[in-house]
Every structure is written in C-alpha cells, then in structure tokens.
C-alpha cells in the first residue's frame, strides 16, 4: 500500500473509532498487576492483554532489584554503554544471561526491537541472503531491510518452502535463517529441529527470537530451542526482557567474536543509551527467579492456565487458530469488528490486546490474549464467558 494512502487510512479509521466511542487503544491505567488493572475512571478490569507471562513485573524481588540498582547508580547512566553506561549491574546481567544459555557471551541492547535491528542489520550485508518466516516479528523485517541483504520470505512454518528457497540462493555469500521461536500473534512454535537441519545442510547461520518463549517454556525456561532440543544448534539467540522478565531491554547471546563485533559496530548499541541501571537490576532479579525452582513452578502454572484458556474458548466455539501455547489469539476478521469487540470487552471489564493494522494485514484484526501464571480459574472463566458474549453482541 502506498505510504500516503496507508497513513490516510489509519487516520480516518482511528478518527472514526474515536468519534463513535469504540476506541479500545491506549487505555489509561491507574493501578496494574499481572491480572488486574484499574482504569483512570476507577473501573477495575481483568487483564488478558499482557506479556508478563510469569507475573514477575510486581514480584517483590524484581521490584527490589530495580530499587536497589536505582538507589546505587541513579536513574540513568553517564553515557552510552560503550563509553560510560556499563555499570556492574549491566555487566552482571550480560554474564548471567550468557551463563544461563550456556553461551560464551551476551550483549544488552535498549530493547528487543533494537536488538533485532542491531544484530541482523550489522551482521548481514548486500552480498548475503536472509531467510525469514512470513509471520516473524516486524523488528526482524526492519533489521533485514537495514542490512541491505537479499530478503527471502518463506511461508509460515513451511520447511519445504524454506528448503527450496535456500537451494535457490546458493550464490549468496552468507545465509541467515531467522525465526520467532514462538510466534507472537498466532501462538504456534517454529519447527526448530527441521530448521536446524536445513541450516546445517545449507551452511546457514540460525538465529531464533525467543521473545515470547524464554522464561516460559523448556525444562529450564530457556525457550523454544530448549523445548525442541536444539539449543546448542542455534548460532544466535535473541530475546527481550519485556515479556517473561517483567522488565525492559533486549539481548543477544552467542560467541565471543559475535558479541565483540556487535559491541563495536552495531549502531543500535553504540548510538543509543542502554537500559537504566534499575531496569537491568530488575532483569537480573527476574533471571534469578525464572532460572530457579520458582521459575519451574510458575511455568507449570502458566502451561496449566494456557491449556484451560484454550480449552474454554474452543468449547465456547471461539476461533483461536493454531495456537498451542500461552498466546491465544481470538480471530475476528475485519479490522472494524475487532476494534468494536475489544471496546465492548473493555466496557464489560476485560482488557485484551487488539492487533490491528499495520501489526496485521490491512482489513484484518484479532485479539491477542496472554495467559499468565498469576491468572486464577475464575479469571479464565470470565474470559471464556465475556469473549463469546462480545462476539454475539457485535455484529459481523
Ligand atoms: N521480537 C518479538 C517476537 C516481539 O514480540 C517483540 C515485542 N513485541 C520484540 C521482538 C521487541 O521487543 P521489545 O518490546 O523489547 O522491543
């Protein structure tokens, strides 16, 4: 779609929703927890639109981690990480993440989005080819575009299509396959065993974005690659701290040379301040929890809640697509109806995450629900009651 036309479409749609009072975006919250929020007008809502899957954003140890680091180092660093923004807590977080994932090194970026842009955009160049799943997160597409490499999109989770496209690009100097370990809106996993085989056969590097899977799946919480038994075959592990860690920041883990190269040449790292010390302190505390016994217990509870949510919605006849995880999409179809359903739900006490264009193709829409370890059975019952009611109340 032409850029000007796209902006015009977005503006007209949003302005129409605002005029008709069906604008489900940007709700102002006065208090929050992983499962409950109070809106600025005083109403309490049940939250299913979060990525705080383990409920760590309000865990006392994580909050203390943030407070202690802030008290010790202040709210900001002196400069970018490479100059004077790398405190002991940043160093400890990088070392602990690398040790957790059994990798020689890790590098912190300000966010997950800048990690994908920094890593892919720096490592790959015009003579290379990047193979990317059609459903990958938008930040991967941004990194790929930045690199100047040939970008080859393969059909979602289609390893035959990937194999054909790898074979057709044997002239590329280097090849990188990059996939989300767990897809952020459809809630299905990448077939990482087959993809790792293809990477080996075609001498391609394999990068996995574990944004939604790290902390939440795998026996040690190490993500989709651990779950699939291929962790050691992944060359570049990427993740964000904005989901299961209950914090903010992104990181990449891999070889010492990879991290050294990125630390000294990735502009997304070099030209932007890193996360504040308090945020790094929160992430470090979250890592201690999710890699320990409490992490295992929370993952079990999350898997139980996710299965209950999926089953309850299916039993109520709601289309949740192909998800097998804690990310549960409610597939609605037209963008306008999606906004109206989300708005109806907010009015009736359920906060979801409506995925609207440009996050999804123009004209389409879905509600993204995130189960968490903190949801109670009655929260799931509330969602399973309200969502079918909303779909009945809002005409096609
Ligand atoms: N990768 C994936 C798969 C994501 O879903 C997201 C966040 N929505 C990101 C990367 C970016 O992470 P961040 O929020 O830390 O920028």
Between CA 292 and CA 287 the distance in angstroms is 8
Probe residue for ligand 1, chosen from 242, 251, 329 as the CB with the greatest number of ligand atoms within 8 Å: 242
Between CA 130 and CA 147 the distance in angstroms is 9
Output the pLDDT for position 5: 84
How remote is the CA of residue 266 from the centroid of ligand 1, in Å?
A: 18
How remote is the CA of residue 389 from the centroid of ligand 1, in Å?
A: 31
| Structure tokens belonging to residue 120 | 């892919």
Q: How confident is the model at residue 204 (pLDDT cuts 50, 70, 90)?
A: very high
With a cut of 90, say whether residue 186 has pLDDT above it. yes
Range 66-76 average pLDDT: 98
Closest C-alpha among 140, 130, 144, 142 to residue 173: 130
Of 6-10, 40-44, 95-99, 178-182, minimum mean pLDDT range? 6-10
Between CA 73 and CA 70 the distance in angstroms is 5
Closest C-alpha among 213, 208, 223, 183 to residue 328: 183
Between CA 330 and CA 366 the distance in angstroms is 6
Probe residue for ligand 1, chosen from 57, 108, 184, 252 as the CB with the greatest number of ligand atoms within 8 Å: 184
How remote is the CA of residue 19 from the centroid of ligand 1, in Å?
A: 31
DSSP letter for 189, please.
B
Range 187-212 average pLDDT: 98
Contacts of 301 by beta carbon, 8 Å cutoff, 6+ apart: 373, 374
pLDDT mean across residues, the chain: 97
Between CA 34 and CA 59 the distance in angstroms is 10
- Give CA angle at 181 (176, 183), nearest 5°: 110
Range 310-336 average pLDDT: 97
With a cut of 90, say whether residue 359 has pLDDT above it. no
| Helix, strand, coil distribution of the chain in percent, nearest 5 | 45, 20, 35
Report the complex ipTM.
Answer: 0.99
Which run of H or of E encompasses 78? none
Range 56-82 average pLDDT: 97
How remote is the CA of residue 70 from the centroid of ligand 1, in Å?
A: 25
Probe residue for ligand 1, chosen from 211, 212, 327, 353 as the CB with the greatest number of ligand atoms within 8 Å: 211
How remote is the CA of residue 313 from the centroid of ligand 1, in Å?
A: 26
Which strands sit side by side in the sheet containing 29-32, from one edge to the other?
Answer: 29-32, 36-39, 44-47, 350-351
DSSP letter for 190, please.
P
Output the pLDDT for position 253: 98
- Give CA angle at 259 (254, 264), nearest 5°: 165
Handedness of CA 255, 256, 261, 262 (dihedral sign): positive
Between CA 61 and CA 136 the distance in angstroms is 33
| Structure tokens belonging to residue 196 | 């790792």
**What's the Cα-to-Cα distance from 388 to each of 187, 292, 315, 330, rounded to whole Å?**
20, 38, 10, 10
Range 42-60 average pLDDT: 97
Ligand 1 atom nearest the C-alpha of 241 is 15
Output the pLDDT for position 347: 96
Q: Which domains does the chain have, with CATH numbers?
A: 3-53+293-393 (3.90.1150.10), 59-290 (3.40.640.10)
Q: How confident is the model at residue 2 (pLDDT cuts 50, 70, 90)?
A: confident
Residues with CB under 6 A from ligand 1: 111-113, 116, 137, 139, 180, 184, 209, 211-212, 240, 242, 250
How remote is the CA of residue 135 from the centroid of ligand 1, in Å?
A: 13
Pick the residue whose CA is nearest to atom 13 on ligand 1: 112
Output the pLDDT for position 3: 75
């Amino acid at each position: 779609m032409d850029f000007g036309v796209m902006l015009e479409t977005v503006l007209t749609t949003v302005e129409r929703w605002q005029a008709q009072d069906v604008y489900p975006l940007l709700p102002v919250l006065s208090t929050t927890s992983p499962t409950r929020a109070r809106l600025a007008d005083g109403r309490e809502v049940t939250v299913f639109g979060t990525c705080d899957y383990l409920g760590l954003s309000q865990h006392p140890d994580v909050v203390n981690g943030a407070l202690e680091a802030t008290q010790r180092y202040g709210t900001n660093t002196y400069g970018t990480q490479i100059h004077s923004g790398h405190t002991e807590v940043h160093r400890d977080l990088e070392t602990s993440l690398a040790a957790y994932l059994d990798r020689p090194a890790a590098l912190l970026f300000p966010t997950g989005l800048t990690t994908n842009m920094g890593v892919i955009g720096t490592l790959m160049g015009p003579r290379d080819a990047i193979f990317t799943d059609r459903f990958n997160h938008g930040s991967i597409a941004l990194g790929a575009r930045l690199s100047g490499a040939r970008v080859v999109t393969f059909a979602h989770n289609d390893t035959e299509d990937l194999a054909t496209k790898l074979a057709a690009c044997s002239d590329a100097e280097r090849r990188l396959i990059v996939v989300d370990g767990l897809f952020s809106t459809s809630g299905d996993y990448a077939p990482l065993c087959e993809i790792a085989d293809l990477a080996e056969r075609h001498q391609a590097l394999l990068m996995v974005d574990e944004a939604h899977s790290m902390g939440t799946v795998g026996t040690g919480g190490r993500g989709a690659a651990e779950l699939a038994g291929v962790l050691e075959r992944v060359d570049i592990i990427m993740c964000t701290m904005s989901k299961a860690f209950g914090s903010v920041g992104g990181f990449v883990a891999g070889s010492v040379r990879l991290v050294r190269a990125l630390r000294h040449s990735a502009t997304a790292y070099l030209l932007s301040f890193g996360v504040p010390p308090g945020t790094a302190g929160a992430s470090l505390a979250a890592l201690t929890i999710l890699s320990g016994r409490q992490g295992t217990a929370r993952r079990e509870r999350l898997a139980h809640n996710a299965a209950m949510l999926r089953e309850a919605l299916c039993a109520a006849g709601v289309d949740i697509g192909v998800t097998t995880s804690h990310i549960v999409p409610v597939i609605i179809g037209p963008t306008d109806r999606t906004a109206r359903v989300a708005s109806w739900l907010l009015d009736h006490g359920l906060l979801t995450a409506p995925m609207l264009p440009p996050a999804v193709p123009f004209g389409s829409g879905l509600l993204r629900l995130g189960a968490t370890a903190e949801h109670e059975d009655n929260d799931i019952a509330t969602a399973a009651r309200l969502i079918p009611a909303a779909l009945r109340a809002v005409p096609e």
